[in-house]
Structure 1
Amino acid sequence: MALAFPASAIAHEPDGAVADPARDRAAILAMQGEYAVDFAFDETVPLQPAYQRQPPLRSGGHEAVIVVEDAARDGRPDRIVLQHILVDPKSGHVTKHWRQDWHWQAAQRFEFSDEQTWRVRDMPAASAAGTWTQCVYEVSDAPRYCGTGRWHHDDGVSTWTSDLSWRPLPRREYTRRSDYNALSVVNRHTVTPSGWSHEQFNTKVQRGPNGRQRALTREFGFNDYRKSEGVDFRPARDYWAATQAYWARVRERWEPLLTSPSGVHLKTRVDGMAMIVPLFEQAQDVEQGGQVSDTAIDAVFSAWVEPATSPTAALQADR
């Protein structure tokens, strides 16, 4: 059943514009569905004298985007969770992919501050007014990045643009690059007639101690989600129906770590596979009708996740 929101749910933004969280919510929910996806990344502006642009990267796939949560509070949208699941059209094999959570006027968010480390940053109420914070998670539901911005619906086109934030290297890069260790990113999501798009305005940066930074190059990323009717996405929905309760238990372990002021540090290598593999194996056991104990999930977290220790110079300098 659709949620209805009263006129009091409309917020006035600091610049005098009016935010419409109900319309924003509709735009976020428009990203659910079944898609053929193209991923394109092009380095654009070299920022160091000797730097040579790397070849463009192209890939693609088929992805179901499923609504996990659509919650309201005090008559307003509050939190929307979308889970992405990849499907191989030929074999029907599915892979749990990334997750995006949207928070209306978030009071805090996590930020990538150092190698395998994320810290929690408070969001002043004045700057959060009228905004949505999008937080993105790994396939293991480990953190990746958050961004905050407003949805705009000018000329009937719904677009959200984030502020500038840090994110770790993407999988396409850390398997072959060692000359930078962070991306400085602005993200833009737009609902289109054929689906939706995700634009990424990236700067590849080598962050060092004491807040030193060396920007290598800029990059433009374009992820194009087009509605697909020629692929059977039932395996994705069947997988999620069988495992969603298990993954909810995994998210319950992450939640206190990602809201604690100290933040979280992952003891895995950058690829995260030491944690991804056992969690995926447990999910497979559940999918096949087995049971996974809380003790088994906790053992994975105990082995690979810990509270962060001290704030990093990079994040201190950024603030």
Structure 2
Amino acid sequence: MKILNLLTVLIVLITVNAHAQDKFEQDRKAIKSLAGFYKVNFNYAEVTSPNPEYQFSKPYRSHGNEWAEIIIDEPKRIVIQHMLAINDSTVIKHWRQDWTYEDTDIMLYTQDNAWKKTTLTPAEVKGKWTQKVYQVDDSPRYQGYGTWSHVGGHDAWQSETDSPLPRRESTVRNDYNVLNRGSRIYITKEGWMFEQDNKKVLRSPQGDQLLAVEKGYEEFTKIDPKKFEYAQKWWDTQKTYWADVRDVWTDLTKTSPTDFKVETKVNDKLLYEILFALGDQSIKDKWTSTQNKEKIKVALQPYLAK
């Protein structure tokens, strides 16, 4: 009888482990399917406010061609770099998303372009993937964790976390300073959807004040890769430099204190302008990786708040 009970336990454990491994591979497949060549439609609109006198902002709509390339593919870490292809001769290195599995290290946005390094418990992240989103200059933007689901053949992930103001409002509004993002990603036949329920919050020592709630949809629809030939050639010349930028940021965040803050502008210069110019200079002068990192560190220092 004891032998039968032991066999039963072993069979259950093997079955559970096999299911967990299958789920893990489904997660990885879903994340990797976010990469590709897309036309993206951006649609945002404020839908409600607790203040009856609140003046709703004008809905935001835009579109563009975006290439998402997997640049790191490790078992528990997948990094996807986005590029905007504006025409046949212009490309902008866009946002980046790092997916990490059961990651206990996270940087949570507080306010005023500052983040707090936090350690989660293994129980909090068990079976979950963290999406770490970075700016065009590879500085932090926001990080949130959640579980991928694969019910009925539908792949979806969701999380809730705080972030800076969206770029479309960061230079035109100062009535709120935190965007609480409710994010849902789900895979479609044509590509994928990034759906958001966002709360615009004014954070102060007295607490959080909700200004408005916004709905957002970013629809990624697959298109002909030929539209991105110039972008691919451009990235091929730039990718080594930007790998050095990522390495420098990683070192800086690891050695920084608990609170980490990045200035948005110094001497009337945005950080991404400095780093993009360095990238072009690196290619022109054929800098080594060591040279790149030295110059990147010098460029970043004025933007790191003490």
Shorter-normalised TM range: 0.7 to 0.9
Distance between the aligned counterparts of 1:120 and 1:10, measured in 2? 33
Q: Which has the higher helix share?
A: 2
Residues 152-231 of structure 1 mapped to structure 2, 5 A cutoff: 152-162=149-159, 164-210=160-206, 212-229=207-224
Partner residue of 2:58? 55
1:122 matched residue in structure 2: 119
Change (3 A) 1:273 1:60: farther
Q: Deviations over 1:176-209 (max 9, x none)?
A: 1111111111111111100011011100001112
**Match 1:139 to one of 136, 141, 154:** 136
1:278 paired to 2:271: no
Task: Classify 1:297/1:187 alpha carbon distance in 2 versus 1 (closer, same or farther; 3 Å).
Answer: same
RMSD: 2.2
* 3-state DSSP of counterpart to 1:153: strand
What does 1:39-78 correspond to in 2, within 5 Å? 39-72=42-75, 78=76
- 1:22 alignment counterpart: 25
Of residues 85, 88, 98, the one that matches 1:87 is: 85
8 Å CA contact 2:100–2:130 kept in 1: the answer is yes
TM-score when scaled to structure 1? 0.84
The percentage of counterpart residues that share the same residue type is 34
1:242 Cα deviation from its structure 2 partner: 1.1
**Residue 14 of structure 1 aligns with which residue?**
none
Structure 2: give runs of 5+ residues left out of the alignment: 1-14
- Partner AA of 2:61 in structure 1: R
Partner of 1:268: 264
How far residue 261 of structure 1 moved from its aligned partner, in angstroms, is: 5.2
Contact 1:34 1:63 in 2 (8 A): yes
The corresponding residue for 1:312 is none
Q: Which protein shows a greater Rg?
A: 2
Matched with 2:97 is 100
Q: Quote the Cα distance in structure 1 between the aligned partners of 2:202 and 2:62.
A: 25
Question: Equivalent of 1:240, from 235, 238, 242?
Answer: 235
Give the TM-score taking structure 2 as reference length. Answer: 0.88
Q: Does the CA-based 8 Å contact 1:80-1:102 persist in structure 2?
A: yes
In structure 1, list runs of 5 or more residues that go unmatched: 1-5, 12-17, 73-77, 308-319
Alpha carbons of 1:104 and 1:234: their partners in 2 closer, same or farther (altered >3 Å)? same
